[in-house]
């Protein structure tokens, strides 16, 4: 059964009226980058294609996945969606694939490290924590 090749996904972020992150998903390298700000009232609709792509990738490919999350702001609603993406990544790892999660955070921000740790505890993933360089 032939499977159509998974198309790369790219969503351009917006930061004026609505706050959507930029999302890039490359099937050839297994690289997923979510960056910018994620402040939508209900993020389910925005993250739906992102989720779907990751579902397709993890089903179709026995290949590494690198998930980079580089968000300077994200609200509770976005956290929910991010958690779902992380669960998908974990499932991919459990299936025997190499998975790396790069999590950017503000080093001196009170509570920022704990937020990341909570995601780790919820998914059993080990993050590669990278501090944002202070601007």
Partner 1 sequence: MAPLLSQDIMLMPLQTIADQQIKTTQMNTFSLYDYYKQFSNEEVHLAYQGAFDSHTLASLSHYVRAASKKFQQVQRRVFFIFMELAQNIAMYSAEQEKPDKQSGKGIMMLRTNGSEYIIHSGNSIDLPECQALKNKLDYINSLDREALRRYKRQERAKSRGDKGNAHIGLIEIALSTSVPLAIQFTPIDDQQAFYELCTYLPLQPSN
SS3 64: coil
**DSSP letter assigned to residue 39:** B
Nearest approach in angstroms of CB 85 to partner 1 is 12
Q: Which residues bind partner 1 (CB under 8 A)?
A: 16-19, 39, 41-42, 44, 73, 75-77, 79-80, 83-84, 106, 108-111, 114, 118, 121-122
Nearest approach in angstroms of CB 129 to partner 1 is 17
Of the candidates 90, 11, 1, 105, the one whose C-alpha atom is nearest the C-alpha of residue 49 is: 11
Residue 56 or 75: which CB sits closer to partner 1?
A: 75
The structure tokens 């924590």 sit at 129
Nearest approach in angstroms of CB 118 to partner 1 is 6
Nearest approach in angstroms of CB 31 to partner 1 is 26
The structure tokens 């050839």 sit at 28
Whether the CB-CB separation of 54 and 89 falls below 8 Å is answered with yes
Of the candidates 133, 26, 20, the one whose C-alpha atom is nearest the C-alpha of residue 77 is: 20
Distance (Å, rounded) from C-alpha 78 to C-alpha 105? 15
Residue 4 or 133: which CB sits closer to partner 1?
A: 133
Residue 30 or 37: which CB sits closer to partner 1?
A: 37
Residue 79 or 100: which CB sits closer to partner 1?
A: 79
């Amino acid at each position: 059964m032939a499977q159509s090749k998974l198309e790369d996904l790219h969503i351009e972020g917006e930061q004026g009226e609505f706050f959507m992150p930029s999302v890039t998903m490359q099937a050839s390298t297994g690289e997923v980058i979510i960056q910018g700000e994620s402040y939508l009232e209900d993020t389910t609709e925005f993250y739906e294609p992102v989720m779907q792509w990751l579902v397709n990738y993890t089903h179709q490919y026995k290949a590494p996945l690198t998930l980079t999350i580089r968000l300077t702001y994200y609200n509770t609603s976005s956290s929910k969606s991010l958690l779902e993406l992380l669960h998908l990544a974990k499932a991919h790892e459990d299936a025997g694939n190499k998975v790396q999660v790069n999590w950017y955070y503000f080093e001196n921000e009170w509570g920022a490290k704990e937020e990341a740790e909570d995601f780790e505890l919820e998914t059993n993933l080990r993050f590669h924590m990278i501090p944002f360089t202070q601007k």
